[in-house]
Structure 1
Amino acid sequence: MNAKWMIAGAGVLAVAGGLPWVVGYVTEQQWQQATAEVNSAQPFLRMETDNYDRGILGARFTGSINLTNPETGESQQFSYRADVTHGVTGSLMDFEPEGGWSSGGTDWFSGEEPRLTLETRLWGTAVIELEAPQMSVTDASTGETVASSGGLARIEISDSGSQADALMVWPALTLSGPDLDIRVSDFHLEQTMTHLSGEVWTGSGEVMVDSVAVTPVAEAPVRLEEISIRSSSEPVSDGERLDSRMAFEVARVATADETYGPQRLVFELSGLDVAAWSGLTESLSSLQALALNQASGGPQQFEQQMNAMQEVNTALRDLAAAGFSVGFPELTVTTPEGVVEGSASISHPELTADKKGEMLMVMQKLTGEMDLSLPVALAEEYPEFRLQLAPLIKQGLLVQQDDRLVLDASMRDLMLEVNGVEIPLPPLL
């Protein structure tokens, strides 16, 4: 009996001893697959892996990240090295830039360095985490200094990449210069995302900032307090449609003399066709990739660009024909002179297959509503703002009602009507 248990125990130890090798093999495959997916998903960031040296209990490899500016096509490369530790159920990757975290022989972190890790599991879960200590960086040429209290950034990816949860906590960040000081206090971000279809993700998130203080040398300081951005998107109609909402709010704006608020802006999108939206984003990505990858001109490049533009136009028509509504149902800007209020929305009806075939342009069926109201005292207080409003008032686009300036507009049949004034719209889309 004891011999049987000894044999069984030896077998368990043998399996346990071999598990790190299996974990290391799977980890390497997961890393190669993840980098390939990142490179194929977009043209602006490319990851390369070199010299992946895998052992039983660990591995080491080097690599680089290439970032491309979409406007100029210029690229910048960052090299890194990673140490990997293999466990029984997963691995821990510890990343560090080649040459260290600081630059130019300086010590940005006063001896304690950041730590960037990636923890993976065999069943497809991964956790990316950055722990940053207190930091201070000064540009000798400009006199600008960036200082940070340190913080934490964390992303957990699960369900084979279809679910992601992000957390970021940063107590303080300061940018100081000869002409301006900016201080951000208590930054907090939480975001949950779930892959729906194609390029479409749903979820909810919240960004909270206790305060942002801007102190110019030659002007009065301004402080924004209790800043929040709350967003949510959810599938409807069995995942075929998408509703989305984002609310931006600043509780108070404080100057040296007074405090006023709140400021609030709400964005809403409803009834967006998921398949059509995914097609539009994919066609736009293809157009951007074509612009980056083809440096020389010629008939072939021109033909490819025209085909890509045609794909974008087709996707845009498909999106509009499916029907949607988008706008700003709430705008509130509080000033010492009074409150600015407004709303705006644009919608397109869903078309039948026959109507879609007859569709010549997107704008033909677009309808919209907009209203805006602001205090006359606001225009009277600021001469530059009054000069900007003067042409609108003269043309009847802003009408005074008591102590308010009012705009009431509607759009349909390629015609914009503002306070009774009709303005033909050019067929841009």
Structure 2
Amino acid sequence: MTDSLAHPKLRYTPAAVPGASQGPRTLVILGSTGSIGTQAIDLVLRHPDRFQVTGLSAAGGRVALLAEQAHRLRVRTVAVAHEDVVPALREALSSHYQPGEPLPEILAGPDAATELAASPCHTVLNGITGSIGLAPTLAALEAGRALALANKESLIVGGPLVKATAVPGQIVPVDSEHSALFQGLAGGARRDVRKLVVTASGGPFRGRTRQELESVTPEQALAHPTWAMGPVITVNSATLVNKGLEVIEAHLLYDVPFEQIEVVVHPQSYVHSMVEFTDGSTLAQASPPDMRMAIALGIGWPDRVPDAAPAVDWSKAQTWEFAPLDEEAFPSVPLACHVGALGGTAPAVFNAANEECVEAFLAGKLPFNGIVDTVAEVVAEHGTPAPGTTLTVPDVLEAETWARARARELAAAAAAHVTEARV
């Protein structure tokens, strides 16, 4: 087993930041108004002696919150993806600053987050949702920054590109499952790792058969029993597509073959993942379901941030369950392993098609089981990448565009078929 991108025993030293002196670790937070970003800012504000945020980026849909964050953190730069929100952002910022007090620099446009990711700092936290996070990930790595990675799509759609750019130890994963694996792998030699065990809550439909899942509604799919997340990732958790993506990510991060990665259902979500070693020992990382634990490790590594999140209360009786995954009811995980093994642009096709199918499901145009079924059809039509093909960013974008268009066509055809059947 070779050194992985996220090697817990390697201490990566980021490129020197011009003019930097000893003091709080400087951070850039991408996706600051989202779930990961807001929780990271909560940690920073509680530990001003440890962290200093120099830049924030957001899509631009929550201008008032972005301006408030910028003011509270006294950042140098704010980036937004949509140029048309700049006047509103400047006005919102002005309301927080005294007359004559300089406002933060504003970067705007589709490349704004990428530019910010390469700016001088110690660590970049990529909390952007979607494959648009790939370019900022590459920019941060190329600039020599430590990368706290919550944007799993960077690895899913651009794994070979990220692997070619990063050096071992430069990436610290922020997903709770990959953070748990990161910590578990520190407990033994890489040659002694037998298996990675990725836990899954099972979502709101744990225990249901495939037939019982046919009538699932969007409202039911959005009611996750453990985690509070955005609509796309919540539906992905219900279909277990999210777990499939995490298996691909674990394979890329830790250089572990797919046949040595197992998904186990754990409804309580206290054990975030496990590492099994060749002597039969299994190391598990446990904590209550709270993303601040993984975020704190991502931005603070190799140090731990005190009281980042609550610990397990061992004074209370509790029971934790583990069960094998029902791959017939939830075929997304084996499909993801197949896609990951194909490599090339196949993972990008898988991810893009799924996003379109989730949107169709939420709009009432596709049944719940139709999400993964349609994704599988798009993946099959895409075919097997040619051996030895070198992946490029344009390749990824072209594959995603095709996959989205084809998924929309198939979803529309399925909706038309249902309408005809009702008539």
TM-score, normalization: structure 1?
0.23
Instruction: Give the helix-richer structure, 1 or 2.
Output: 2
TM-score, normalization: structure 2?
0.23
